[in-house]
Amino acid sequence: MVEVKHVSKTYGSKKVIENLSVDIQPGKITSFIGSNGAGKSTLLSMLSRLISKDEGQVLLHGRDIHSIKPNDLAKELSILKQSNHIDLRIQVRDLISFGRFPYSQGRLTKEDWVEINKAIHYMELEEIQERYIDELSGGQLQRAYIAMIIAQDTDYVMLDEPLNNLDMKHSVQIMKSLRKMVEEMGKTAVIVIHDINFASCYSDRIVALKHGEIVREGPTEEMINSEMLKEVYDMDIPVQLINGERICLHFK
Amino acid sequence: MDIGGLTSQQQEILLVSRIPRLLSILIAGMSMSVIGFIMQQLSRNKFVSPTTAGTMDSARLGILAALILFPTASMLMKVSIAFVFALAGTFLFMKILDRIKFKDTIFIPLVGLMFGNIVGSLTTFIAYRFDMIQSIGSWLQGDFSMIVKGRYELLYLSIPALILAYFYANRFTIAGMGKDFASNLGLQYKQIVNIGLVIVAFVSSIVLLTVGSLPFLGLIIPNIVSIYQGDHLQKNLLHTALLGALFVLVCDILGRVLIFPYEISIGLTVGVLGSGIFLFLLLRRNAYAS
Ligand SMILES: Nc1ncnc2c1ncn2[C@@H]1O[C@H](COP(=O)(O)OP(=O)(O)OP(=O)(O)O)[C@@H](O)[C@H]1O
Ligand SMILES: [Mg+2]
């Protein structure tokens, strides 16, 4: 379990996250939602040790994440940021194989290759695995990054807007693979997501942020309703039950 | 001893001059190309190399400092001092790079060149004051004609540094994907960058002290390799080393036959030939991309 205890982050004089506490429940998909600038990415980066926090603690299995050896932590928890600029010309396959670095330090074993090929298969990248990443479309590249995270095979997977650049088919594919990873392999996923209906259909829990604070959190079925949406987004959004899913009609 | 029916005088030339010259060409070509690749990965910029990041100029200032402060210093001592300066200079450049908000591919090496020029003027000024322009001048341009037995052996020291680079190659590439990527994979980004810079500074100082500078070599060769094989450093290391050695060898031969019996210095041949090839490849790549 990951516990966030009273964390704060200030940039200059701007409090971006203020005294925030949340428990990430294991074996579930938790979605962070909220409007632009609410602090979702900042929170996710602090959760995954990418940025330092001014106050508070993040505990993984009761241990402060900064006291865990970086290489050990990399086998427990992985993070993919919202935007990634890589100027290197490397092949998709090589990019994904770097996901195994925490295990093999670059000397890939047979086992590593099994994991790499599995990740390639999961993200349907077989046909483009030999391509250089600077020659991919935005969506193909995003899938390659996610495949690297899958190859990293950590119990905790944190993805900041994983559906960036993806078409409908691949968005569904990624959300389905996340569910599969959670249900079949017992992994825990934390994602930042803007598409409220994806959040509604695929996550177990929703954490709603506004101005660096949690305004509401809870199981998805209790969270997705017009009242919550009003509070988080200041919009009147009707919610309808379609095929057993709560669908938010936010286009008009 | 009798090698292939050579006279003893020919044998002597072979052992004292020809073989040392060949070996130093090969090692210097390999070393400069490989460290160029490392620098490009760590700075995340295709145009950063020892020449365009102030490394060479700082090393040269170090040599001057050694000549002034310890006139009787051994080669090893000079290398150590040059190394400290090169490291400090490169480090400073990386710090400047951190501060620059405008991370344009062309702009950054320009900043590096300017930084190098500032260090260079400082060197010239001090050398002028101490009346040492002549001695420092001999380290301005690469020259293999001075290489004889006893003057190049120091170059061997760069081989273990290159082997170390091979073991760190994957880490350098991951660092080249950015700090966050590296942290996610459990690497200590700063530590990796520092190890890379130490290798770069060490090798640069050794090459500078033995053969002089080979301008832009560390920029041309990695870029050529990158165009046809990508940027996976570990896969590329051998290619880069071999191409670098071959390239310097060809330049050396050209430099010796073009205006025979005189010689064009290697620094000039490498610069002219290399930039031509580089330009050609760059244009071809753009044509292919569009
Ligand atoms: N490095 C930084 N320096 C200064 N301010 C920052 C920095 N990073 C984020 N901020 C500010 O912190 C606030 C929260 O940013 P954050 O990226 O966490 O938002 P977000 O919820 O992920 O938004 P989005 O949905 O647009 O991705 C914003 O107001 C942003 O301007
Ligand atoms: Mg964000």
Give the full edge-to-edge strand order of the sheet including A55-60: A14-24, A2-11, A55-60, A63-64
* Alpha helices (H) in chain A, listed in sequence order: 40-47, 70-73, 92-97, 101-104, 110-122, 138-152, 168-185, 196-202, 220-223, 226-233
Give the total number of structural domains in chain B. Answer: 1
What pLDDT does residue B287 have?
63
3-class SS at A245? strand
> Cα–Cα distance between A221 and B35 in angstroms, integer?
57
A147, A190: one domain:
no
> Cα–Cα distance between B171 and B165 in angstroms, integer?
10
A72, A164: one domain:
yes
Q: pLDDT tens digits for A164-222?
A: 889 999 999 999 999 999 998 899 999 999 999 999 999 999 999 999 999 999 999 99
Domain that holds residue A184: 2-76+155-248
The mean pLDDT of A27-51, rounded to a whole number, is 95
A8, A133: one domain:
no
What pLDDT does residue B283 have?
76
H or E segment to which residue A63 belongs: strand A63-64
Nearest to A75 by CA among A45, A103, A98, A95: A103
Nearest to A81 among B41, B170, B180 (CB): B180
Q: In this predicted model, which residue has the larger pLDDT, A83 or B202?
A: B202
Q: Would you call B173 and A79 a contact, using CB atoms and an 8 Å cutoff?
A: no
Q: What is the mean pLDDT of chain A?
A: 94
Q: Does any domain span residue A81?
A: no
- Select the residue from B37, B184, B226 to test the A interface by mutation, using most A Cβ atoms within 10 A: B184
Domain of B221, CATH number, reads 1.10.3470.10
Total Cβ atoms within 10 A of residue B236? 22
CA A153 – ligand 1 centroid, Å? 28
Q: Does any domain span residue B34?
A: yes
Show which of A129, A153, A177 is a domain's final residue.
A153
What pLDDT does residue B3 have?
61
What pLDDT does residue B138 have?
64
Q: Does any domain span residue B269?
A: yes
Show which of A109, A133, A153 is a domain's final residue.
A153
A163, A69: one domain:
yes
Residue A12 has pLDDT above 80, yes or no: yes
CB A252 within 8 A of CB A238: no
Q: Give A108-115's long-range contacts (Cβ < 8 A, gap of 24+).
A: A115/A151, A115/A153
Ligand 1, atom 27: nearest CA belongs to which residue? A36
Show which of A131, A153, A175 is a domain's final residue.
A153
What pLDDT does residue B1 have?
53
- Contacts of residue B231 in chain A, CB cutoff 8 Å? 88-90
Can you state the angle between helices B55-69 and B75-99, rounded to 10 degrees? 140
Is any Cβ of chain A less than 8 angstroms from the Cβ of B286?
no
Q: Does any domain span residue B245?
A: yes
Q: Does any domain span residue B77?
A: yes
Answer yes or no: is the C-beta of A203 below 6 A from any ligand 1 atom. no
> Cα–Cα distance between B80 and B72 in angstroms, integer?
14
Question: Exposed, middle or buried, B259 (CB in 10 Å: 0-12/13-18/19+)?
Answer: exposed
Residue by residue, pLDDT tens for chain B (290 residues) are 556 678 888 888 888 888 888 899 999 999 999 999 999 999 988 889 998 899 999 999 998 999 899 888 888 898 999 999 999 999 999 999 888 877 777 788 888 989 999 999 999 999 999 888 877 766 666 677 777 777 788 899 999 999 999 999 999 999 999 999 999 999 999 999 999 999 999 999 999 888 888 888 998 899 989 988 999 999 999 999 999 999 999 999 999 899 888 888 888 888 888 778 777 766 776 665 54
> Cα–Cα distance between A189 and B123 in angstroms, integer?
57
Domain that holds residue B90: 29-288
- Residues whose CB is less than 8 angstroms from the CB of residue A124 and which lie 6 or more positions away in sequence, other chains included: A143, A173
Q: Does any domain span residue B19?
A: no
The mean pLDDT of A12-35, rounded to a whole number, is 94
Pairing of strands A55-60, A63-64: antiparallel
> Cα–Cα distance between A30 and A13 in angstroms, integer?
30
Q: Does any domain span residue B4?
A: no
- Contacts of residue A88 in chain B, CB cutoff 8 Å? 41, 173, 176-177, 230-231
- Contacts of residue A91 in chain B, CB cutoff 8 Å? 230, 232
- Rounded to the nearest angstrom, the gap between the alpha carbon of residue A178 and the centroid of all alpha carbons in its chain is 10
A130, A147: one domain:
yes
A128, A215: one domain:
no
Q: Does any domain span residue A221?
A: yes
CB B136 within 8 A of CB B62: no
Give the total number of structural domains in chain A. Answer: 2
Q: Does any domain span residue B80?
A: yes
